[in-house]
Structure 1
Amino acid sequence: MTFYQGVFGGTLTLNEYGAFGSETPPGYGDKVMHGLLEAPNGFVLMGADVPPGMEHQPGNNFAVSLSGDEADALRGYWEKLSDGGTVSVSLEKQMWGDTFGMCTDRFGISWMVNISGTKEA
């Protein structure tokens, strides 16, 4: 989550298992349960770790999408998210008129970034 704070800015709150009382699994008191990033532009990104007893199964079963018309901000996010990751679709103008790209960040999370095209009269 600190990586995403570096991408989006904002205030990061991390909650450890131990903060929730006596139901803390052994050995998990100081491990992060979930994090909440509140970005300066008003959006919130929340992440949760796989809880004890559940198997971690990384995969490509989801992607996070960022969309909007603030081209400079979205291009900046794209640069930071794709740095050290893999670009599968370059961020460029697409046939539907928007600028769009897909990447997988350095932690294996897939991202889609869409910058709305300008409307012509």
Structure 2
Amino acid sequence: MTTLNTYLTFEGNCENAFNFYRSVFGGEFAHVGRFADMPADPNYPIADEARNQIMHISLPISKECVLMGSDTGGHGGPLTVGNNFSISINTDSKEKADTFFEKLSAKGKVTMSMEKTFWGDYFGMVTDRFGINWMISFAEEAQKG
């Protein structure tokens, strides 16, 4: 099964925003990861002031819908309100992830090529030819369970 969810990006206030969204929708966070939790990468150093910011957070809204988000962590340039969201696609196969990525990136801009990530997913990001940001993910471990 393939799902589509909204992924929001913030400039340092993601945790406050998601605490607000939790007060609106109820429930508990499925995951809260901070930039300090990431393995060190000399290509993407994390500034001390960003270490406690949110790298990834997810709030299940229903069985089918998850609201997700992160702070910029100082990467990717300044945040632009109105373009601070992505559509997150979660697939049930690596092949589907590659197909969606290939088709969405045609005449678009690849932000991150599809690759295995430190958190275990096969993941990539692209902005399509219409300016819409997409995150494509296949969680191989979830398929085994």
Q: TM-score normalised to the size of structure 2?
A: 0.40
Which structure has the larger Rg? 1
More relative contact order in 1 or in 2 (CA 8 Å, sep 6+)?
2
Q: TM-score normalised to the size of structure 1?
A: 0.47
Considering fraction of residues, name the structure with more helix.
Answer: 2
